[in-house]
Amino acid sequence: MTNALPTIAHPPRVRIASPPGIAPAVNVSAPISHQVESLEAEPAAEPVAVPPIIQVQDLSLLYGNVAAVQHVTLDIPRYRVTALIGPSGCGKSTFLRCLNRMNDFIPNARTSGRVLFQNQDIYAREINPIRLRRYIGMVFQRSNPFPQSIYDNVAFGLRLHKMGRAETIHDQVELALRKVGLWDEVKDRLNQNAVTLSGGQQQRLCIARAIAIKPQVLLMDEPASALDPIATAKIEELILQLKEDYTIVIVTHNLQQAGRCSDYTAFFYMGQLIEFDATENIFGQPAAEATEAYINGRFG
């Protein structure tokens, strides 16, 4: 699907907080310059040739006294698919939720470090997480359509953010459903309840719902783990299409999936980022021993 939504092609128009002078966040251990456009300014990160849209700097997350994410520094390249892999409980899902502050809803969770989205620290005090999530969307492990009509599901975010009147909303709903390849399957039953769709269709509907409001980043938390192989293949195909318009960060337990879909792969282990590199390097010649062991199925 090449007909990119007009907004996506434009330079970023994020209005999360008052730009451009970012107030230096408190508790930042390593002071860094605000000129973070190029990666040369960030020697700690792996060399990535694509300009990043999200820059994670020394991010830690604690549940009470237990560290779920420890000192992670990572750049998410724009318009690429970044896979987060690692054994269960390694903190990759928690890390993903840090990127759009869905971890705000976890009681006792505290974060430190910085996450720069379009050069703004999303943990800064003036950031409204509600606005942030409009630009960084999320798709969850289990499809979670609202028990409403298919149409209302996709229109939910559009109405929420008052993105157009009734007639333009219809066009946007159609566009989103077309992008996920669901339009032809559901166009005659848009008023039917979404829970009547099959599992794979429901998950594609959830993706349509997320992209309808034109986010810039799409976070996917094991989006295909509950689906059969055919539905999984469709989701993977979709991910490859979507990266033309969106930056995608995907958590997956399925290493083949990471290999097939992603451009970059980050390997997490026990809350730490062990290795981050282009996917072919991670799978071809991993630098860290733990990565190599995990890739080859010796643990995890």
Partner 1 sequence: MNSIPQSDVSGQPLDLTSAPTLSQTTLFTALFRSVAFFLVGVVALLVAYIFSQGFHGLNPAFLFGSATSQDSSGMFDVHNAGVFEMVFGTILLVFLMTVLVMPVGVISGIYLNEFSDPNAWTTRIIRSAVNNLAGVPSIIFGLFGLGFFVYFIGGSIDDYVLHTASPVFGKPAVIWAALTLAVLTMPVVVVSTEQALRSVPLPLRDAALGLGATKLQTLRQIVLPQAAPGIITGGILAVSRGAGEVAPIMFTGAAYYLAHLPQSITDQFMELGYHIYILATQSPNVDRTRPLLFATVVVLLLLTFLLNLIAILVRAWTRHRMRSYRA
Nearest distance, CB of residue 197 and partner 1, angstroms: 11
160 binds partner 1 (CB under 8 A): yes
Question: Other CB atoms closer than 10 Å to residue 245's CB: what's the count?
Answer: 22
147 binds partner 1 (CB under 8 A): yes
Cα separation, 266 vs 172, whole angstroms: 34
Only one of the segments 22-30, 48-56, 129-137, 272-280 lies at the binding site for partner 1 (rule: CB under 8 A); that segment is 129-137
Only one of the segments 21-29, 136-144, 256-264, 282-290 lies at the binding site for partner 1 (rule: CB under 8 A); that segment is 136-144
Residues 5-44 touching partner 1, rule: CB under 8 A, are: none
Nearest distance, CB of residue 80 and partner 1, angstroms: 21
Nearest distance, CB of residue 132 and partner 1, angstroms: 8
Q: Three-state secondary structure along 46-115?
A: CCCCCCEEEEEEEEEEEECCEEEEEEEEEEEECCCEEEEECCCCCCHHHHHHHCCCHHHHCCCEEEEEEE
131 binds partner 1 (CB under 8 A): yes
Cα separation, 214 vs 66, whole angstroms: 36
Question: Other CB atoms closer than 10 Å to residue 284's CB: what's the count?
Answer: 11
Residues 87-126 touching partner 1, rule: CB under 8 A, are: 100, 102, 105
Nearest distance, CB of residue 65 and partner 1, angstroms: 17
The answer to whether 121 and 17 are in contact (CB under 8 A) is: no
Closest CA to 177 of 147, 145, 203, 212: 212
Cα separation, 236 vs 242, whole angstroms: 10
Q: Which is nearer to partner 1, 157 or 286 (CB)?
A: 157
Residues 185-214 touching partner 1, rule: CB under 8 A, are: 193, 195, 206, 209-210, 213
The answer to whether 267 and 237 are in contact (CB under 8 A) is: no
173 binds partner 1 (CB under 8 A): no
Give contact residues for partner 1 (rule: CB under 8 A). 100, 102, 105, 130-134, 137-138, 140, 142, 144-147, 156-157, 160-161, 193, 195, 206, 209-210, 213
